[in-house]
Amino acid sequence: MEENLTVRQARKADLPEIMAVLEAAKGIMRASGNTGQWVNGYPSEEVVLEDIAGGCGYVVLADGRLCGYFAFIPSPEPTYAEIFDGAWLDDTLPYHVVHRIGSYPEVHGVFRAVLDWCFGRDPNIRIDTHEDNRIMQHCILRYGFRYCGIIYLESGDPRLAYQLIR
């Protein structure tokens, strides 16, 4: 069932609910065979609190109930400075990055609600995901993003990188 989804800036008081959402998202990943992403306590409370303190953390509400979380971060994203086996659609315009998107499995339409909200604020969005995150890859491509190549996180782990300019 697709509820009435809204987005608002996250607050420190949301932290316990945000962490519960992210744990549920990890469960979705593991159940679908993605065991290499969001490991070793990531994303931690500290990371989410940094998002919130920086004004980049947002929650998704389904009929007023917190059901999703994401970070919407303005460029430049340091790990996007170099892209391998491809190229960004445009590497001159400012952009925003969507990171740490997660939701409860029973709430549908969260990815679309998040991206619709993001594109209402910036026409140039980049996103990346783990090669084993087939669900996210499907959502990203279905939304209209183009695969651009591979980026490497600070840890050295590769990620599939996408961009959409409207």
pLDDT (tens digit per residue) in 62-80: 999 999 999 999 999 999 9
Give phi and psi for 7, each to the nearest 5. Answer: -120, 140
Distance separating the N- and C-terminal Cα atoms of the chain: 29
Question: pTM for the whole thing?
Answer: 0.95
pLDDT per position as a tens digit, 115-154: 999 999 999 999 999 999 999 999 999 999 999 999 999 9
Domain range for residue 28? 5-165
Which secondary-structure segment (H or E) carries 66?
strand 65-74
Q: What span, in angstroms and rounded, lies between the C-alpha atoms of 112 and 152? A: 26
**Best CA proximity match to 5, nearest among 56, 59, 53, 47:** 59
Over 60: is that where the pLDDT of 2 sits?
Answer: no
Contact 58, 70 (CB under 8 A): yes
Return the residue matching tokens 């303005």: 74
**Three-class SS of residue 114?**
helix
| pLDDT the model gives residue 5 | 96
Angle ∠(20,111,155) on CA atoms, nearest 5: 65
Q: How many domains does the chain have?
A: 1
* Per-residue tokens: 70: 């994401």
Place 1 in a pLDDT band, splitting at 50, 70 and 90.
very low
Helices (H), 87-127: 110-119
Q: How far apart are CA 30 and CA 28, in angstroms?
A: 6
CATH number at residue 44: 3.40.630.30
Give 78-92 pLDDT, tens digit per residue: 999 999 999 999 999
